[in-house]
Amino acid sequence: MSVQQIAGVKMKEGSKTKEKIEIVDEVKEVKEEKEESKEKSFLEDLQRVQADFENYIKRVEKEKGLLKLHAKSELLLKLIEVKEDFERALRNLEETSGIEMIYSKVKKILDEEDVKEIEAVGKEFNHVFHDIVKIIEGAENKVVEEVRKGYLIGDKVLRTSKVIIGKGETKIDEDNKNE
């Protein structure tokens, strides 16, 4: 073999070696990219799980607060019934000092829990605060009489007022119709 032939063969071998090195380098790059992609995917999954967990904690806290409010509302409704029984008893008894003391304690508890009576008589009917039990002659859509008091706890309705409202006709209106 001539020197030129040997050099040609060595050049071919050198270029094949160079190609092999390039292929190995490309494989390494692909593996590194794949690893980076896996790491990025794991990181994104971890961040998603963390956000889901934080949302879960917030939701549980909110539900816990609503549950407390519901339980508190049930107790306060029972206490309101007792308060109203005391009010009726106070109106019908002559010696009331002991009952007045108990009544004032119950009222104090309700005040401390931010329970307020809904003012109804003379007000415009509002379905959020009032339940109609009867409609009689009187100012249209105004509460004429309160049959049962309603209560708020903060700004939420604890119990609606049972009311009688006016239908907008009075005796004077009827007299004018007959003439």
pTM to 2 decimals? 0.51
| C-alpha torsion sign, points 154, 72, 84, 160 | positive
Average pLDDT over residues 46-70: 89
pLDDT digits (tens, 9 = 90+) for 80-133: 888 887 777 777 777 667 777 788 888 888 888 888 889 889 888 888 899 899
R_g over Cα of the chain: 41
pLDDT digits (tens, 9 = 90+) for 15-53: 667 777 777 778 788 888 888 888 888 888 899 999 999
Residue 160 lies in a domain: yes
Percent of the chain with pLDDT strictly greater than 70: 83
Residue 1 lies in a domain: no
- Confidence check: pLDDT of 4 > 70: no
Domain ranges, residue 154? 114-179
Residue 91 lies in a domain: no
Residue 120 lies in a domain: yes
Residue 124 lies in a domain: yes
Residue 148 lies in a domain: yes
Residue 61 lies in a domain: no
Report which secondary-structure segment, H or E, holds 83.
Answer: helix 3-92
Domains identified in the chain, total number: 1
Residue 179 lies in a domain: yes
Report the C-alpha gap between 122 and 6 in whole angstroms: 116
Banded model confidence at residue 179, pLDDT cuts 50, 70, 90: very low
Give the CATH number of the domain where residue 135 resides: 2.30.22.10
